[in-house]
Structure 1
Amino acid sequence: MLSHLALLVLAAPVLAAQAPVSLPLARQFRTPNGRLSDYDKQRGQALRTQQENRRPSSAHTNHPSSRSRTSVPATNAAVTYTLPVGFGEPPKNFSLLIDTGSSNTWIAFDASYIPMPESAKDAAATQPVTIEYGSGSFTGVEVIAPVTLATDLFVQSQSIGTGAPYDIDIEGILGLGPVDLTQGTLLLSPDETIPTITDNLFAQHSISEEVVSIYFAPTTMLSVVNGELTFGGVDETKFTSKVHYAPVTMIQPAGSYWGIEQSISYGGEEIMSQNAGIADTGTTLLNIPSDAFAIYQKKTGATMDQTTGLLTISEEQFQNLVDLEFNISGKTFYLTPDAQIWPQELNTEIGGQAGSIYLIIADSGVNSGSGLDFINGYVFLERYASVYDTSKNRVGFAHTAWTDAKVNKIAN
């Protein structure tokens, strides 16, 4: 099937490479069905265990001979970012969630209703597709169809899954993770990978770099357009610093995703030595290993709120908070005290009390040394723009106007 897809791309006319294309992301706040910390812990555990049958590799292009199926929660528990994507010709639009922790693209739709050009109908021979998620699953068939991302940005022949999601109330997912994560999802070709949308945009020369960058702003309202996804490079107008890159880690299982290595310090004291973890739009909180979490809780004086599963502090303790620092490949990034607390305007949306102060650092459920010790989730990515560079096998971060912003009343 992989050779078939390659032929489809090669047979198509070569398009002129263009400047990076930025697309607006619409954000909606989804009231979690349960505690945020439990959901994120579940996703983290699934991300670790799904790679148990995967042999270590130093790059995403080294495919394993076998791997377990994807088994991760399909969506961020609280913050959902969607992008309108057109399928078929003329395009029929669907709102797809963007996910850097998975790589398949699928829509919850009957393939027979996708408008297909005559030239593509013969190429639409399908095979079963299945993707298991920690909070649901997707089962359907593969279809080769044109995909339109913007007026001047499209993939001529993209493998997508079409069918029925189970216990996932969304229209579909746009997978932005490494291509290796698609292996095992085609039931008749379990050893093959499926070129991602980013792969195909680069292969047909629609973008000059196989790079995706993502910009978020802090969550303070239930629904708003305040994010941006850029294919083919970065939108420097959103950055207030140069992009600092870190190589994708060789440590597994983090190295199978957009994995990096970092250490964490609080108040000048290291609470987590250099370990491997990932940047993931599908995770809400900042998850750190249990041993580091215990030190952080002790230093902040926080207590565990059983209703939300989050640490809570008093106003006096908040005034004593200091920056949480991350050393990533020789560069220090930080979360200010304001960035370490959950948006107070949304306390009741997660089952919390209005006016309370909840911290967004959560226990990953494993001690340091698991091979995927931390997840820099949405609460980190809303303070730093992130760049995912397939061609150079690296992940980058840049400061934005929101890095030092104060968005909570108590911080103003």
Structure 2
Amino acid sequence: MMKWLVVLSALVALSECLVRTPLIKGKTAREDLQEKGLWEKYRKEHPYNPMAKFIQTGTESMTNDADLAYYGVISIGTPPQSFSVIFDTGSSNLWIPSVYCSSEACENHKKFNPQQSSTFKWGSQPLSIQYGTGSMTGYLASDTVQVGGISIANQVFGISQTEAAFMASMKADGILGLAFQSIASDNVVPVFDNMIQQNLVSQPLFSVYLSSNAQQGSEVIFGGYDSSHYTGQISWIPLTSATYWQIKMDSVTINGQTVACSGGCQAIIDTGTSQIVGPNSDISNMNSWVGASTNQYGEATVNCQSIQSMPDVTFTLNGKAFTVPASAYVSQSNYGCSTGFGQGGSNLWILGDVFIREYYAVFDAPSKYIGLAKSV
């Protein structure tokens, strides 16, 4: 389940408020823990549960992936205070650490100081966001938020008072959710919704390009998409639920044989999850088909010398085939090679970064469609 962390940086505005945010690669939290000799201990104490954020409990759940997703620089307040946040299409709230937090995770990250912002306003509600390995608690507030050169007035966000221990090993300070308001904790209006409502973007959509093989150039574009990032036509897939970016998946095939999602299933396009995640039996079958061995933590390892001979895996979405080669679904590190197929213990599939790196993704909120095209 290895995954590289990708850093959003160098925020550049496009014409007519189309905003491009580039990303660069960095070292994963997992690699950091492995180098410190703490990974085995962490895995035993915090079993991987990628489905935690998709369990609807009335509070917004977030990813428990130790190889947390994609993050970039935003600023909050007047004058602005800068923070790195994960851009997560699998959640809907924005939150950051605060000076009122004494958790170890907060000590390792930048902390927002409300007293230093002239535009800060306290909200009236507490905030609790559940992770698979713990939670963050805090308070709601509002202030000016700047993302990629766009300034959003009166954006409601969370400031933490406590944070889960595993956040101490993460590179990002907080999370910026890009899913729908219907799943936002306390029904907070998400950042991108406010961009649209305040007429700050030229088009009511955003797009994500994730580079591969440690290359730079990954980016999020708010207000449009870039045709230089993909080849061929964009396939537009209707959402089955405007909560997460959820669509219908017809099947998963290898060498023409259906190996998972037989008869159809539901899938999430999620930048906040590193792997492709599915039901335990389906993922086990897929890993078996590609020749992987699964350890006690559900991590499927392969011989690094076998990658060239391993089969493609095809995901059929809305009648359109999207193929992922072994070079994309196998990750290599100093610790060996593993597949990017993770067990989720639920019927809900997550098409995370392993998939998105292969397919440029365009998120059209008002029309409730996702556009996918082969990345270049």
| TM-score > 0.5 by shorter chain | yes
The amino acid that maps onto 1:360 is: G
| TM-aligned CA deviation for residue 156 of structure 1 | 1.4
User: Which residue matches 1:393?
Assistant: 368
The amino acid that maps onto 1:88 is: G
User: Which residue matches 2:50?
Assistant: 43
| TM-aligned CA deviation for residue 88 of structure 1 | 0.9
Whole-Å Cα distance in 1 between the matches of residues 357 and 47 of structure 2? 17
The correspondence for 2:244, drawn from 250, 257, 260, is 257
User: Which residue matches 1:108?
Assistant: 97
Whole-Å Cα distance in 2 between the matches of residues 125 and 340 of structure 1? 43
Whole-Å Cα distance in 2 between the matches of residues 242 and 37 of structure 1? 42
1:11-410 matched pairs, under 5 angstroms? 18-32=16-30, 34=39, 41-44=48-51, 46-48=52-54, 50-51=55-56, 67-73=57-63, 76-78=65-67, 80-110=69-99, 112-113=113-114, 115-117=116-118, 120=119, 123-151=121-149, 153-164=150-161, 165-167=163-165, 168-169=167-168, 170-182=172-184, 185-186=185-186, 193-220=187-214, 225-250=216-241, 256-262=243-249, 263-272=251-260, 273=262, 274-306=264-296, 309-313=299-303, 315=305, 317-342=306-331, 344=332, 346-348=333-335, 353=336, 357-366=337-346, 370=347, 372=348, 374-401=349-376
Deviations 1:80-132 (A, max 9, x none): 42211111122111111111111110110236535434xx45x5444322212
Question: Which 4+ stretches in 1 moved above 6 angstroms?
Answer: 35-40
Whole-Å Cα distance in 1 between the matches of residues 47 and 227 of structure 2? 31
Whole-Å Cα distance in 2 between the matches of residues 149 and 18 of structure 1? 15
| TM-aligned CA deviation for residue 327 of structure 1 | 1.0
Whole-Å Cα distance in 2 between the matches of residues 79 and 20 of structure 1? 27
Cα pair distance change 1:136/1:247, threshold 3 Å: same
The amino acid that maps onto 2:76 is: F
Cα pair distance change 1:125/1:136, threshold 3 Å: same
Q: Which structure has the bigger radius of gyration? A: 1
Whole-Å Cα distance in 2 between the matches of residues 125 and 301 of structure 1? 53
Cα pair distance change 1:303/1:205, threshold 3 Å: same
| TM-aligned CA deviation for residue 386 of structure 1 | 1.3
The amino acid that maps onto 1:128 is: P
The amino acid that maps onto 2:114 is: Y
Question: Kindly, what percent of the aligned residue pairs are identical?
Answer: 26
Whole-Å Cα distance in 2 between the matches of residues 225 and 114 of structure 1? 37
Cα pair distance change 1:197/1:383, threshold 3 Å: same
Number of corresponding residues? 333
Cα pair distance change 1:320/1:225, threshold 3 Å: closer
User: Given that residues 140 and 157 in structure 2 are in contact (C-alpha distance below 8 angstroms), is that contact kept between their aligned partners in structure 1?
Assistant: yes
Cα pair distance change 1:202/1:307, threshold 3 Å: closer
User: Which residue matches 1:61?
Assistant: none
User: Given that residues 62 and 129 in structure 2 are in contact (C-alpha distance below 8 angstroms), is that contact kept between their aligned partners in structure 1?
Assistant: no
TM-score when scaled to structure 1?
A: 0.73
- Aligned partner of residue 180 in structure 1, secondary structure: helix
Cα pair distance change 1:40/1:331, threshold 3 Å: farther
The Cα RMSD (Å) is 2.7
5+ long unaligned stretches in structure 1: 1-16, 52-66, 187-192, 402-412
User: Given that residues 86 and 272 in structure 2 are in contact (C-alpha distance below 8 angstroms), is that contact kept between their aligned partners in structure 1?
Assistant: no
Whole-Å Cα distance in 1 between the matches of residues 48 and 297 of structure 2? 16
5+ long unaligned stretches in structure 2: 1-14, 34-38, 100-111
The amino acid that maps onto 1:235 is: D
